[in-house]
């Protein structure tokens, strides 16, 4: 079974895919209310421990941290914090599962899964539409404003990561 993780310090998307490519678990681990870096890490570790108990994971794929600045996106401080958290989660995966995680960029995962982002479109919305149409039982709720609730995009991204790893194997 493959574990796909879209790691973030706010909400981490986690998906488990079985040996036939079926999504058997898809969750959003919300750490927004935890203000301390180490409390967030401890919560993610407890979630990973739950996955380890429930599923015989044989491969772990994690979205590669952003490596460069882009105008209007994350600051140096945010990129550093995200890379640090990604490293901590990677270590926890290795320690708990005894599996060295593989890393894939979001764009490579989308490409391997057969998703193309039309010019001018928002990748998160295209991925969500693809997952909604392609994955049975993928459900999500909308806010009063009609937007997907927090964690929805993270779950969808983690599915694409796991699916890309499945298709690659």
Cα 37 from Cα 61, distance rounded (Å): 22
pLDDT band at 63 (very low <50, low <70, confident <90, very high): very high
2-168 carries CATH number 3.30.420.10: yes
Q: Give 17-27 pLDDT, tens digit per residue.
A: 999 999 999 99
What is the signed CA dihedral for 30, 34, 36, 37, rounded to 10 degrees? 0
Cα 59 from Cα 1, distance rounded (Å): 7
pLDDT band at 35 (very low <50, low <70, confident <90, very high): confident
Q: Give 41-54 pLDDT, tens digit per residue.
A: 999 999 999 999 99
pLDDT band at 74 (very low <50, low <70, confident <90, very high): low
| C-alpha distances out from residue 90 to 55, 78, 102, 138, Å | 18, 18, 9, 26
Give me the helices (H) in 55-151, please: 76-97, 106-112, 123-134
pTM of structure:
0.91
Cα 169 from Cα 157, distance rounded (Å): 19
């Amino acid at each position: 079974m493959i574990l796909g993780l879209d790691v973030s310090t706010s909400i981490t998307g986690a998906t488990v895919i079985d040996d036939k490519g079926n999504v058997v678990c898809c969750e959003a681990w919300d750490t927004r209310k935890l203000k301390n870096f180490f409390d967030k890490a401890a919560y993610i570790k407890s979630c990973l421990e739950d996955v380890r108990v429930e599923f015989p994971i044989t491969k772990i794929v994690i979205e590669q941290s952003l490596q460069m600045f882009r105008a209007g996106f994350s600051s140096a401080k945010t990129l550093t914090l995200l890379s640090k958290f990604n490293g901590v989660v990677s270590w926890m995966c290795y320690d708990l599962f005894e599996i060295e995680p593989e890393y894939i960029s979001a764009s490579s995962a989308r490409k391997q899964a057969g998703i193309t982002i039309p010019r001018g479109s928002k990748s998160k919305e295209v991925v969500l539409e693809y997952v909604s149409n392609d994955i049975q039982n993928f459900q999500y709720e909308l806010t009063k404003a009609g937007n997907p609730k927090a964690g929805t995009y993270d779950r969808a991204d983690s599915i694409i990561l796991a699916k890309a790893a499945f298709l690659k194997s």
